[in-house]
Amino acid sequence: MYVEKTELENFRNYKNLVLNFNSKVNLVLGKNGEGKTNLLEAIHFGFTGMPLRFATIKDLLRNENPEGDTRGLALYSRVNLEINRNESKDIISTRIVEQKRRVFLNDKPATIKSLSPFQSTIVFTPESLSAVKEGAAQRRRLLDEIWMTVSPLAGEILNDYQKALVSRNKVLKNGIKGGLSRGEQKHLLESLNHSFLPLATEVSWGRIQAATRALNAANEAYSTLLKGNAVDLRVDYSISAQSAIDWSKNQVYDCLVSRLKELQATEIQVGASLIGPHKHDVRFFVNGKDARVFCSQGQQRAVVLAFKVAQARLHRTCRGHEPILLLDDVFSELDSIRREQLLLLLCERRGQMVLTAIDDSVPAGQFGSDVSIYRVHKGQVT
């Protein structure tokens, strides 16, 4: 499966764009601020209906006014993706109308959920590659994405957990504001905990399994990135500062229940849920040492790259076809050896890739004859 053609209208800094893609390697080059990431974001938005960065749907509407004045804001935006799946064609059209998202599949109204057979993108962004040193949310996201690749139910469970968390937080917050009596709050929390705890267990367990399943492939990829040097890459899932990577599902549940007992009084005081997978962390170890403390920035990026490459391999195994890789500026901060080795790992694959890079920082020749090069300048592509 690959994106054969994309059409953009009023998306970020693109007024109108029609672009044909190669089924293999598509290299998007340009200087800073020309529209490389915006183009990748358009593909991601087309498949998932979600912005790539911490942005709202409204931020995606083209704004002609450089100061961001809303008078320059487009009223309508559209990303069309023409998908080639085993030589049959489908068109996904993701639009923003009256600041709301609308999705169409082959001209018929559709939902994001109905696009799941097409959702095969794996995104490498500079933010995701800094997961080792950045916030725990990025590290959890890395495992969630691997989990969603290997389990068709993961996305729904994560959504359900998010909803359960929002309801629980609302009850806790209402208690502080005086909107609920202590008795009412206790009663509501007890009933919410019945669904919250099993969902919290499923999410934590899903992440533990995802980390364990990806580990072998991540070790192989990490060793290739280091040009065959032997390394021992490990991952740990941490629940309330305890190592949980080897826990059974029951152990996870029991730990969450006992933490809830310990912390519920504090939760009521602060008005927020203090237990659950939104509080867990992920740690990476290289040759037994904590990567966050001991690895350089480039080495930390290589750790995440290794897990992303592992995710791509698991995608092929679990779904029977190659994912589409979207790589945003991943070559900066890697030295020439890791850069070459990453290219080697990417070139082994048969699937489609769209990569961005600052002008000529990527040796395009390494991709052989399967590469199309696009140059972006001020929202125009040549």
Ligand X SMILES: Nc1ncnc2c1ncn2[C@@H]1O[C@H](COP(=O)(O)OP(=O)(O)OP(=O)(O)O)[C@@H](O)[C@H]1O
Query: Per-residue x/- marks for ligand X, 283-322, CB under 6 A?
Result: ----------------------------------------
**Shortest Å distance, C-beta 67 to ligand X:** 11
Binding to ligand X, residues 45-104 (CB under 6 A) = 59, 61-63
What are the residue ranges of helices labelled H in 83-178? 126-129, 136-150, 154-177
Shortest Å distance, C-beta 34 to ligand X: 4
Examine residue 30 and tell whether it contacts ligand X (CB under 6 A): yes
Distance of CA 66 to CAs 34, 72, 73, 113, Å? 14, 8, 10, 35
Question: HSE (CB half, 13 Å, CA atoms) of 289?
Answer: 10
Over the window 7 to 46, marking each residue x when it contacts Mg ion by CB under 5 A and - when it does not, the resulting string is -----------------------------xx---------
201 close to 249: Cβ distance less than 8 angstroms: yes
Residue 323 beta carbon to ligand X: minimum distance, rounded to whole angstroms: 22
The only residue of 6, 22, 37, 94 in contact with ligand X, by rule CB under 6 A: 37
Q: Site for ligand X (CB under 6 A): which residue of 19, 197, 245, 358?
A: 358
34 binds, among ligand X, Mg ion, none (CB under 5 to 8 A by kind): ligand X
12 binds ligand X (CB under 6 A): yes
Residue (of 111, 93, 92) closest to 9 by Cα position = 93
From residue 349, give the alpha-carbon distance in Å to each of 3, 24, 216: 16, 9, 18
Which CB atom, from 125 or from 273, has the smaller least distance to ligand X? 125
Q: For residues 255 and 239, is the Cβ–Cβ distance under 8 A?
A: yes
In the complex, the smallest distance separating the C-beta of residue 56 from ligand X, rounded to whole angstroms, is 11
| Residues found near ligand X in the complex (CB under 6 A) | 12-13, 30, 32-38, 59, 61-63, 329, 358
